[in-house]
Structure 1
Amino acid sequence: MSTTTILSVIAPGAALEKLAGEFSFTEGPTADAQGNVYFTDQPNDRILIWSTDGKLSTFMQPCGRSNGMYFDAAGNLWSCADDLNQLWCIGKDKKVTVVVLTDPAGKLLNGPNDVWVHPKKTGGLYFTDPLYARPYWKRDPKMQPAGQYVYYLAPDHKTLRAVATDLTQPNGITGTPDGKTLYVADIGAGKTYSYQIQKDGSLANKKLFCSLGSDGMTLDSEGNLYLTGKGVTVFDKTGKQIENIPVPEGWTANVSFGGKDRKTLFITASKGLYAIKTRTHGVHSK
């Protein structure tokens, strides 16, 4: 009888390392072209940087209570600015452009949570808009959208439409480097789905990828999908669970590959920033 050996995604001899702590709640890790990792301390309204030489610094404060983030090919940092339910595009000069204010019906967004930019210049971006009521919001609840959707923002950064409207509470989102497949975690239903991305940005062929939801997620060079929540759970490209990386915090919010060689998995978990060397490497900034 033949058996299949499953290789660990963790580099031989590597162990989880706590890089920094004493934050209120960390989120949104994403790496720039050099491999520096940007992440948020969301309740404290700041974006921080963990540089490739191991130094921690503040990039922006205040930052619209940024949550999920993603770098585009031009080096702009896209941010889900939770404070006023907006989507921000932050330039290299730190100039902020507010790109999305309302949904197609003219209502305020619930609160953009996670974002993924399509790798092709002719592509737009996708973001999730779950409802997590914040104590600092002062808006009229009647101005909220009818549901919790996944949106597609066209390349003109003006045309917005909902492309997935049947999820309970979409949260984590990422896509493949060829721009053909989008993964969306329905954390409310405890499931993650895959979709085929169409030329016009719409989604087709929704398929259950695995029966686990996620806060944030990322992909590696082998097509493995990393989901968060209780530590980091790794699924191969067929949807089979192959590993769990325990993290000593109450909640693991998000993950991203970073470092000069993209072989380090950075993990934002509650009050800490963690990292672990991997055998694989990341395929894009998120």
Structure 2
Amino acid sequence: MRYWTIGFLLTVFAPKGFCQSLVFEKDSQLKVECEGGGEGPAWHPALGVFMTGHDGAINRMDSTGKVSVYRKDAGANGLVFDREGRLLSCEPKQRRITRTERDGTIKVLTDSYESHRYNEPNDITLDSKGRIYFTDPCYGDRSKLEMFDADKKIVEGVYRIDLNGKVTRILGRELERPNGILITPDDKYLYVADNDNNALNGARKLYRFDLKSDGSVKLGSRKLIFDWKKGRGPDGLKQDKEGRLYVAGGLNKPNPPFEPDTNVKGGIYVFDKQGKFLEFLSVPKDEVTNCAFGSEDHKTLYITGGGTLYSIRTKTPGYLIWPKAK
């Protein structure tokens, strides 16, 4: 195992006068759990941590640290467990959203919108009613894209799947390239990581939108939380029980021509529920893609970066859709 101490890691971007972490447990250390974690992750109390490898397979690390392939050739990215403990998966390779039932069968929830195939579904979340929200950017081959607006411009949108299976696009060209997504536990806000890292001056911003009770977005409510400027922008994000946001983003080494700036380092950026920056946790491997809470007390933050799964202990339990804290 390799470790990096919190005292050292939190010196970059630490608030003036900072000497003790407000977020991470005293003497907590960033721990390498295993290899095989390129994206995801999602924690199951009995089965362990699920994550997607660079080859798109869904891998699983059990309680002993053993890693096995859960679904080969899934072509997956973002993962989350729904309120019944079923695994939901964004599958950009096959351009669809799936649910793994308790008996192991795979159900396709949606693979098209208005008769057009999705771009590359990327990240996924749920609200308190069980409605599913996902982002649909494209970071690969753009010649395959079918999502266009009335002006024939490509749409990289955000979608909602209602309990009856109906799909609605709730954001379209209000964003450049939506990536990470999160609904607050009270269903009041939608956070979206807008990360166009294939253009020098593309968006690298975290936004918050007001969410209506019917699951639609209040247009005009967009609020900028943080701007990564010309570095690598935000990716996946999660929230703890006190409303703090934990956002994966940044870059340790320049990646020209589109990501030349490394002033915003790679790691986890923590914001309070008003959007004020609190702390930064450095993660050594690029790219830092996502995070998720787990463990019995929900105080372990799992982080995927550079094909590695890391963990670190937090002072406050994370908010999990499932399972609920005991």
User: What range is the shorter-chain TM-score in?
Assistant: 0.7 to 0.9
What does residue 113 of structure 1 align with?
Answer: 122
What does residue 37 of structure 1 align with?
Answer: 49
Change (3 A) 1:60 1:168: same
Q: Secondary structure at the residue paired with 1:67?
A: coil
The match for 1:169 among 177, 197, 201 is 177
What does residue 68 of structure 1 align with?
Answer: 78
What does residue 197 of structure 1 align with?
Answer: 211
Count, aligned residues: 272
How far apart are residue 76 of structure 1 and its match? 1.3
How far apart are residue 275 of structure 1 and its match? 0.5
Could you state the TM-score of these two structures normalised by the residue count of structure 1? 0.88
Map Cα deviations across residues 71-110 of structure 1 (whole Å, 9 max, x no partner): 1101111100111111111112221011111122x11111
Change (3 A) 1:73 1:4: same
Unaligned runs of 5+ in 2: 1-16, 149-153, 197-202, 250-265
Change (3 A) 1:182 1:33: farther
Alignment of 1:71-150 (within 5 A): 71-104=81-114, 106-121=115-130, 124-134=131-141, 141=144, 143-145=146-148, 146-150=154-158
Counterpart CA distance in 1 for 2:19 and 2:267 is: 23
How far apart are residue 6 of structure 1 and its match? 7.7
The match for 1:260 among 280, 293, 296 is 296
Q: Which has the higher contact order (CA 8 A, sep 6+)?
A: 1
How far apart are residue 50 of structure 1 and its match? 2.4
Change (3 A) 1:6 1:170: farther
Change (3 A) 1:19 1:142: closer
How far apart are residue 52 of structure 1 and its match? 3.9
Q: Secondary structure at the residue paired with 2:320?
A: coil
Map Cα deviations across residues 162-196 of structure 1 (whole Å, 9 max, x no partner): 11111011000011122222111111211111122
Alignment of 1:132-281 (within 5 A): 132-134=139-141, 141=144, 143-145=146-148, 146-157=154-165, 159-165=166-172, 166-188=174-196, 189-204=203-218, 205-212=221-228, 213-229=233-249, 230-281=266-317
Higher deviation after alignment, 26-35 or 178-187: 26-35
How far apart are residue 234 of structure 1 and its match? 0.8
Letter in 1 for 2:109: V
Letter in 1 for 2:31: E
What does residue 31 of structure 2 align with?
Answer: 17
Could you state the TM-score of these two structures normalised by the residue count of structure 2? 0.78
Map Cα deviations across residues 143-177 of structure 1 (whole Å, 9 max, x no partner): 344311111111112x1121111101100001112
Alignment RMSD (CA, Å) = 2.2
Quick check: 2:45–2:295 contact (8 Å CA) kept in 1? no
Counterpart CA distance in 1 for 2:194 and 2:292 is: 19
Identity of aligned residues (%): 33
Map Cα deviations across residues 225-247 of structure 1 (whole Å, 9 max, x no partner): 11112111111111111111111
Quick check: 1:112–1:129 contact (8 Å CA) kept in 2? yes
Change (3 A) 1:142 1:266: closer
Higher deviation after alignment, 66-75 or 25-34: 25-34
Higher deviation after alignment, 255-264 or 140-149: 140-149
Counterpart CA distance in 1 for 2:20 and 2:237 is: 21
Quick check: 2:187–2:213 contact (8 Å CA) kept in 1? no
Quick check: 2:187–2:211 contact (8 Å CA) kept in 1? yes
Letter in 1 for 2:133: Y
How far apart are residue 5 of structure 1 and its match? 9.0
Runs of 4+ displaced beyond 6 Å = 3-6
Quick check: 1:30–1:285 contact (8 Å CA) kept in 2? no
Quick check: 2:126–2:321 contact (8 Å CA) kept in 1? no
Q: Secondary structure at the residue paired with 1:62?
A: coil
